[in-house]
Structure 1
Amino acid sequence: MLMDAQLIAFTGVAAGMVAMPGADLTVVVRNALASRRAGVACALGITGGLLLHTALAVAGVAAVLTAVPGLFRALQLLGGAYVLYLGVRTLRSLGRPRQAVPDEAPSDARPLRQGFVTNALNPKAPITFLSLLPQFVPAGSPAMPRTLLLALIVVVLALVWFPAVALLVDRLGRWLRRPSAARAVEAVTGTALTVLGLVLLLEPLRG
C-alpha cells in the first residue's frame, strides 16, 4: 500500500516536471506550427532526451556532473548556446516573407534532432532525476528495479504530454497559421527561447 502511494506521489511530481513550461515545450510548439509531423517528431526527440537522462540517472553518471563543476558548466553553456541559437533563428525568420506551410513536413529529421538536442543538453535534468528518484525507493527494497520503474514513468508521461501538445497546436493550426497569428506565436516562442538561452548561458558565468 505504501509502495502504491509512493508511485502515485511520484507520478504527480514527475507529471509536473514534464509539463513545466520551458525550452522543451517551446520547441514543440514552434515545430508543431510547421506541421503535425514536425511537432510530433520534435516531441519524440524530447522523449528520447528524457530517456537518456533517466538512463544516466539510473547508472549514476549524473553524479559525475555534480563532482566535476567544470564539466557541468561546459554542458550548461553548450545547452544555453543551442537554445539561444534556436531563439535567434526564430526571431530572424519574422522578417522573411511567409510561405504556405504544407500539411506534411518533407522530413522529420530536423525537428526530431532539435527536440533531442534541446533536452539532452540540459545538464540539470539528470541531476534532478538523481536527487528525486531515490526519494521514492522504499527502504529495504531493491533499488535498481524500482528506479527503472520510476524512470519508465517519466518517459511514458513525456511520451503522452509532448505529442499531445503538438497535436493540440496542430488542431488549432488553421487559426495559428494565419500570417498575423503565426508571426505573433513565432515572436513569443522566439523571445522565450532567446531569454531561456541567455539565462542558461549567464547562470554558469555567475557561478
Structure 2
Amino acid sequence: MDLLQALLSFAVVAGLLTLVPGIDTALVLRSSISRSRSFAFATALGINTGTMVWGIAAAVGVSALLAASELAYRALTLAGAGYMIWLGASLLWKSRATAPAAGLADVPGPALPGRQLFRGWLTGTGSNLLNPKVGVFYIATIPQFIPAGTPPLLMGVLLAGVHCVLGLAWSTFLIYGVGLASRWLKGAGSVKIIDRITGTVLVGFGLRLALEPSH
C-alpha cells in the first residue's frame, strides 16, 4: 500500500465515521441554529482542531498510553463526561427561559466579536479533546494506514488532515442546510426545542461515558 492508497482508504473509514450522528454533529447544528453561521464555523474548526491533536498524539504514542493505561483512560473519560454533562445541563437550563437570550439567533456572523468566536472554537475543541474514544479510534486505525518507510508522525498529520477536511465539508453542509431552513429553525420555539434535544444528547453522552465499563 502506497501513500495515496493509504490516504484514500482512510478517507473512506473517516468519511463513514463523520456521517454517523454524534456529539460533533449536535454541537454544530445547535451553534448554527441558536447562534450564527460564524459561531457554528468556529465550533466546527474547534472540533477539527481536536481531531488534528488526537491524530498527532496517536502518531507519537500519546494515545497508545491512553489505550494501555487504565488510570489515564478513566481520568480522561470522567473529565470528558463531566464536561459533556455540564454543557448539556447548561442548555437545558437556558431552554427554561421564556424567551431566547438576546443576540443569539439574530446576530449576523461577521458582527460577532472575537471573544464569542473563540468561545465557539473552545467548545468544539474541548468536546473533542475530552472524548477518549477519538484517541482510541486513532490509535486503532493509524497503524493500519502507515505505508512501509513512511514516518509515523507525518502519516498521523496527513491522516488527521484528511479527517479534518471531511469533517469541515460535512459541517459546512450542515451549517448551510440550516441556513436554508433558518426562518423556521431560528424561531423562539424551535431554538428551545433544539436546545433541549442537544442538551439531552450531551447529558446522555456524558452519562454514558461516565458509566461505561473500563476498557
TM over 0.5: yes
Q: Does 1:27 align with 2:27?
A: yes
1:196 maps to 205
2:146 maps to 137
Question: Matched residue of 2:95: which SS?
Answer: helix
Moved more, 157-166 or 69-78: 157-166
Could you tell me which runs of 5 or more consecutive residues in structure 2 were left unpaired when the two chains were aligned: none
Equivalences for residues 37-56 of structure 1 within 5 A: 37-56=38-57
Aligned counterparts of 1:109 and 1:146: Cα–Cα separation in 2: 29
1:81 maps to 82
Q: 1:182 aligns with which of 180, 191, 194?
A: 191
CA positional deviation for 1:4: 4.4
Q: TM-score, normalised by structure 1?
A: 0.89
Amino acid at match of 2:106: P
Moved more, 163-172 or 23-32: 163-172
Could you tell me which runs of 5 or more consecutive residues in structure 1 were left unpaired when the two chains were aligned: none
CA positional deviation for 1:97: 2.2
Distance 1:181-1:199 versus aligned 2 partners, 3 A rule: same
Aligned counterparts of 2:176 and 2:117: Cα–Cα separation in 1: 15
Amino acid at match of 2:120: P
CA positional deviation for 1:60: 1.3
Structural RMSD (CA): 2.0
1:17 maps to 17
Q: Do the aligned partners of 2:185 and 2:191 also contact (CA within 8 Å) in 1?
A: yes
Amino acid at match of 2:21: P
Amino acid at match of 1:120: L
Q: Do the aligned partners of 2:59 and 2:155 also contact (CA within 8 Å) in 1?
A: no
Distance 1:55-1:4 versus aligned 2 partners, 3 A rule: closer
CA positional deviation for 1:6: 4.1
Amino acid at match of 2:75: A
Aligned counterparts of 2:181 and 2:206: Cα–Cα separation in 1: 27
CA positional deviation for 1:37: 1.2
Moved more, 159-168 or 128-137: 159-168
Question: Matched residue of 1:21: which SS?
Answer: coil
| Count of equivalent residues | 205
Question: What's the CA shift string for 1:172-207, capped at 9, x where partnerless?
Answer: 222101122222222211111111111011115x66
CA positional deviation for 1:162: 2.1
2:107 maps to 103
CA positional deviation for 1:21: 1.4
Distance 1:147-1:108 versus aligned 2 partners, 3 A rule: closer
2:176 maps to 167
Aligned counterparts of 1:96 and 1:125: Cα–Cα separation in 2: 34
Question: What's the CA shift string for 1:90-124, capped at 9, x where partnerless?
Answer: 11112112245323344212111110100011112
Q: Do the aligned partners of 1:23 and 1:83 also contact (CA within 8 Å) in 2?
A: no
Aligned counterparts of 1:112 and 1:137: Cα–Cα separation in 2: 30
Q: Do the aligned partners of 2:7 and 2:162 also contact (CA within 8 Å) in 1?
A: no
2:123 maps to 114
Q: Share of identical aligned residues, percent?
A: 33
